[in-house]
Chain A
Amino acid sequence: MKRKASHTDLLAASAPQGGDNTVTLPYTPGQWEPIVVPYADSIPFGETIQLYTNAITFTAHTITKLSTLAFRRFWTKPDIKPERVTRSDGARKKIILDASINDAKPPTDSKTSTTKKSSTDPKTSTTNNSPTDSKTSTTNNLLTYSKSLTTKTTTAPIKRDLLGRPLPYEDVYTRWWKHMDKYKNRPKNRHNENVRIAETGRCRFYYPGDENDDAMNSTIEDIIFDIDTGEDQDAEVEEVKRTYTQDEIDERIHAIVFDTTDYWPPVCEGDELDINNTHDDVEDYTADFDLDEEVQSCDDEVIVKTDQYDMIAQEEQVSKETVVKYLSFGQNGQVQTVKAILDDFDDPHALIERGQGKPLIPELTDEDYDILQVALDGTDNGSIELELVEGKLTTHDFKTLLPDLFNGNKLAWLNDNIINEYLSLLVEAEKARLGFTHTRNGSAPPVHAFASQWYTSMRNNPDSVTRWATRKNLGQGQFLDARLILIPICDQSHWRLIAIKPQDRLVEYYDSLNGEGDRYFLHVIEFLKKVLGREYSKGQWDFRNRPSVPQENNSDCGVFTCLNALCLLRQIDVSYLEACAEPGMTEPRCRLAVTLLKGQAIEF
């Protein structure tokens, strides 16, 4: 409650007047794989659950999420045995949550049975794999989905931004769906195409030109001409311009370019998804589990065993009945659903409070909000260019971190100053915790973060980077004494993280879009050769692409990079990030801002 009050205070300071367009969305975006949510609502714990999804993000992420879900629920690593995790685009994936226990007899109320019916629908359509059928089922799915949208409208909470305003793009999105209705009988036209691509979360197409181009300035022509569908594109442009007002078009472009991934409706069967999506993350994941690589059918099956009630009872020193009752049924005798647990998921601290150490992102205190407020007041909500952190960070930098508050570009892309400064504060905090102080020609630091210009310099002038290392007592053999060397990299408008663990002779790559780090590994090898000289031995070093909790829009990779670094510094699994992952990452961004303004990290 306290914290919310502070939110309101901030709101009072900078919210625009008269924003009363409260449009309710059918589901809370970003909670989970949205495709799963409609079904998840109806799934009682205590029986075997089958979730069908054709969400294209059914990847390591989904499984991690399920796993974390079960972990939070049962305080132990669930026994996950994905028997087959294979990928074929557009195919349905089946997830089986095996939560069967003897004691639990979930009541079969009407709600359960109706929704069960709906969850069998996809199953039947799964069996139809002929291409002709898939087209019709595309529209059917759309219809089913839009129906489920309307029926659920009342239950959905309004998503608000940091300032407590209803997010404006929800309105845009609702309109977007209305537009979709108009076109849903034309499955191959470009409007579907746009949605389809937007749905994949790879909005690359809508960033015309290079990284320096301003996506804000996209025009409807940019969008329509970006994809050649063989139709008359001029006519298409004309039609759009005739049908919608300029404002509507602008809103829609904004929705496509910036916010689509926040609202991620299911991709329909028959959709071809080939937008630079290599699915390497899935392969990595399957490799970890040593899975049968054969593609047997379109169905992918994951079994998550959550039969852990005995253990919880023992740990909590309560009777098993209590556990069963508590876990299987809600307070009013209602079935505790996966959805309910998902709601629980939204509280990032719940898991951690159960003896898992400090939260990844400590909640902002009143004092923290005051610090933020002072910065906001001082810069008149971002309109005055000031040095907010002396010699280091200015209003301009904070605009990239908290664009809503500092009136920055809606893209909300973090810049190098924010990333570098935050990482160095984290590193300083960790070094202080370990009692390390830097002395000239002294011992190597246990942890270090190179500036993100490392990559640029490695490409242009590798020798200079060797000096960077020497300067930090990381030259030659000393390098191998360090536990963790972090290198944030900004390449192609995307932040990623290299983590070198010299003691383990291991180099890891973390990418919230789960791309591959091979091209960066090449530079790391060159760097290692230069720094280690003759001590570098090729066979000793291992290079790994690690799965990262994925970002849920096209803005947050910088925040994910920072938080992955935080997990690594704290030596906790990067899947911890799951607990605070959401589109926009508002809370983590605020925490970053406060840490930067304070000049001191308390994230340890």
Chain B
Amino acid sequence: MSDNGSPSNMQKPEDAGQSEHLNIKVTDNNNEVFFKIKRTTQLKKLMDAFCDRQGKNPASVRFLFDGARVQPTDNPESLDMQDGDTLEVHQEQIGGGC
């Protein structure tokens, strides 16, 4: 019965107790973008929007929330996000030892 995979704009309002929308900051330490999303919106939407807006290749960036990599299918609820929380955006790191 989980609606984890369904399109975000068709969520049933579930959590009556909590406010339906959250403000999430996405920052790569240069740019900050604020998003207002539903608790059950897949974060993929937000990640794509950030990449789109900042002209970044989605393959070369990683989104972290509290030190854990965010999966596109995660949503604020599954990650226990609060209003005002931040997603960190990091570039790919590679190293070999020069």
Could you tell me which A residues sit within 8 Å of B by CB distance?
A: 203-204, 207, 211, 215, 385, 391-392, 394, 396, 400, 411-417, 420, 450-454, 456-457, 460-461, 464-465, 467-472, 490-495, 512-513, 551, 553-558
Contacts and interface: CB of A to CB of B under 8 A. Distances in A.
Given A391-B71, A450-B67, A453-B88, A460 B29 contact: yes
Contacts of A420: 69
B98 A207 contact: yes
A413 B94 contact: yes
Contacts of B69: 392, 420, 451
Most buried by A among B73, B92, B95: B95
A457 B88 contact: yes
Interface of A is mostly: mixed
B97 A412 contact: no
A471 B67 contact: yes
Contacts of B93: 415-416, 452-453, 490
A493 B98 contact: yes
Nearest to A490: B93
A457 B66 CA distance: 11
Nearest to A440: B80
Interface string B80-98: 0000001010101111111
A557 B67 contact: no
Interface in B36-74: 59, 62, 64, 66-69, 71-73
17 contacts: A204-B98, A392-B71, A414-B94, A451-B67, A452-B93, A453-B62, A453-B67, A453-B93, A457-B88, A461-B29, A513-B97, A554-B97, A555-B97, A556-B96, A557-B95, A557-B96, A558-B96
B96 A554 contact: yes
Would you list the 7 A-B pairs with minimal beta carbon distance, nearest first? A468-B67, A557-B97, A413-B96, A490-B93, A416-B93, A391-B71, A471-B66
A465 to B, nearest CB: 7
A392 to B, nearest CB: 7
Given A461-B29, A464-B86, A454 B98 contact: no
Given A414-B96, A456-B90, 15 more contacts: A396-B59, A412-B96, A413-B95, A414-B95, A415-B94, A416-B93, A416-B94, A450-B67, A453-B67, A468-B67, A490-B93, A492-B98, A493-B98, A494-B98, A555-B97
Contacts of A491: 95
Contacts of A396: 59
A558 B95 CA distance: 7
A392 B96 CA distance: 21
A321 B62 CA distance: 63
Nearest to B27: A461
Contacts of A557: 95-97
Interface residues of B, number: 21
B98 A453 contact: no
A83 to B, nearest CB: 32
Contact of B95 (A385, A461, A470, A493): A493
B67 A394 contact: no
A551 B97 contact: yes
A557 B19 CA distance: 47
A416 B88 CA distance: 15
A461 B64 CA distance: 13
B66 to A, nearest CB: 4
A551 B92 CA distance: 22
Nearest to A455: B93
Contact of B97 (A394, A467, A494): A494
Contacts of A415: 92-94
B96 A416 contact: no
Contacts of B88: 453, 457, 461, 464
Contact of B68 (A413, A451, A490, A513): A451
Nearest to A550: B97
Most buried by A among B67, B69, B71: B67
B64 A495 contact: no
Given A420-B69, A451-B68, A467-B66, A394 B98 contact: no
Contact of A411 (B66, B72, B92, B96): B96
A521 B94 CA distance: 21
A416 B98 contact: no
Given A391-B72, A460-B29, A453 B97 contact: no
A400 B67 contact: no
Contact of A416 (B71, B86, B92): B92
B64, B68, B95, B97 interface centre (most CB from chain A within 10 Å): B97
B42 to A, nearest CB: 11
A465 B86 CA distance: 12
Contacts of B67: 450-451, 453-454, 465, 467-469, 471-472
Given A467-B66, A471-B68, A203 B98 contact: yes
A86 B96 CA distance: 29
